[in-house]
Amino acid sequence: MWEEISNNDRADSFGNMLIECFSLPWLAKNEGDQLEYICSSCVDRLQSALDFKREIIASEQVLKGFLFQSDIQIEVVTEEDSMSAKDDHIENLGIKTEDSEGEISALDIENSDKTDLESKPKRKWPKKRKGANRLKVYKKYTQLDLREAIVSVRSEKMTFKEACTEYNIPRNTLKSNLSNADTISEDNNFSCEDKSMKERYFRLIEEIKMILKYTNAIPFKTKTAKYYCAYCSTNGPMFQDADELRIHTKFHEEERLQEVDHFMRPYWLNEILKLDVLNLTCTICTTKLPDWNQMFHHFDSEHGIEFDEAYTKVVPYNLSEPMQCVLCHDDFPNFHSLDGHMNAHYNNYICPTCGDTFVAKCRLEKHLQVHHQGEYQCEECKKVFTLDKYRAKHYKLVHKRNTTKCILCPEVFNTVSEQNAHLVEYHKDTTNVYICEYCGRSYTHRKNFLKHLSRKKYKCEDCDKRFPSFKGLKTHKCET
């Protein structure tokens, strides 16, 4: 096994050949140990296997050089031309073949690979960011900036590149708006509708800025009946208490007007703006404005400021307990009910089937699902529902577990009460706990706390205890 033999003009042994071919942990015996042997049939099979392995390794190294070539041409050649071309290509790569130097140099192959990698052109633009990360680095420009850039380029006051740099507008954005402007000027029929839409959106942005400049109204966004700062969007902190939202928004005072264009993008997702108008006041003359409609009349008559788009696209809310509509002063148990009620005051979109009105297009599209009834079966219990959203809600509440997530950590719960108990125990510093002074019960939601207090209507004159009903108070007096 370990006796030296001649293998392709070099000294070797069958034991070393076995180790090289199959990576066997086989060591040579000492001189005094019993000798090891290999039969002739195994020798032939071992040599064939080793030769085949060496051919694969050599072919792989040669093919690496071909893969790094950028210009690959396919042409019909003879066998002799193919062999000569292959040899020339290997020589150009600096790879030594068995015919020239006896064996291939791995160092030369590594150097050639590095050279080809360095010559490969680098990516010109950075990888596209996702979601909120893309918004953080998005170039912030106003609609007024875009208009002035278009005018500057078309009047030849600035070059295209200078306008992009001066107004901080992406090249593709300015290019597309320039082409649209040219199309509008050429097609009069198309221009009326498109130009009117752009003018109305531009006017809406300007009117929003005027309302924020001349009043103390606070813009906000909502998601699943939770409050979010308009400047931080739904990627920022969530607020259960409107007072906390108002305090947080004061930190955005410097960007109160500059960020309007940014948080109103894109238009199809931010068609309307919600404003908290609690204690609405005119900042010009410090006059308290008792009503939302009175605000428009006040600015028109006292300060000569007129509004047009804000009548239908800016929706006022009074984020205080109890929830009350700013326009008709009706009371509502929660924000979700109030938000749905605001559709009745705006007829921006009308359902063609039932005639209901809606303030935004997305609300109309959601409503239209009601008129497309069918049979939607639950996969678990086979119960049938008329709407798919009812089936999804049923599955979430009945069959799916762990659907309630903590707003401050990744913990999930089966019920809202478990979530509230978790907030009180693990997030005391970041949540408000409301404790009833009469019975000692604690609440993490202010609306639940106020609802509990409203039930304590009947007070005992002797011990100051309160009861939700007169019968409870009467029973208490009889016991004492």
Q: What is the mean pLDDT of each run of 10 residues along the chain (480 residues)?
A: 66 73 65 68 80 81 58 43 47 43 45 51 60 56 82 87 86 81 55 65 91 95 87 84 90 89 83 93 92 92 91 92 89 89 92 89 87 84 85 80 70 75 76 70 72 69 70 74
Q: What is the 3-state secondary structure (H, E, C) of 422-462?
A: HHHHHCCCCCCCEECCCCCCEECCHHHHHHHHHHCCEECCC
Residue 412 pairs in a beta bridge with 405
Buried b (16+ CB within 10 A) or exposed e, 335-351: beebbeebbebbebbee
For residues 255 and 212, give the distance between their C-alpha atoms in angstroms, rounded to a whole number. Answer: 11
Closest CA to 346 of 332, 364, 329: 364
State the amino acid at position 69 in one-letter form. Q
Cβ–Cβ < 8 Å for 423, 444: yes
pLDDT reported for residue 380: 83
Chosen CATH of 432-480 out of 3.30.160, 1.20.1510, 1.10.3470, 3.20.20: 3.30.160
Cβ–Cβ < 8 Å for 211, 303: no
Which DSSP state fits 28? P
Which DSSP state fits 34? P
pLDDT reported for residue 315: 95
**First-to-last C-alpha distance (Å) of the chain:** 107
pLDDT reported for residue 207: 93
Cβ–Cβ < 8 Å for 385, 394: yes
Task: Please report, for the chain, the start and end positions of each structural domain, with discontinuous segments joined by +.
Answer: 1-59, 187-346, 432-480
pLDDT reported for residue 434: 74
pLDDT reported for residue 297: 93
Closest CA to 419 of 432, 404, 433: 404
pLDDT reported for residue 136: 54
Q: What is the 3-state secondary structure (H, E, C) of 112-135?
A: HHHHHHHHCCCCCCCCCCCHHHHH
pLDDT reported for residue 275: 95
Q: Which residue has the tokens 């085949």?
A: 52
State the amino acid at position 49 in one-letter form. A
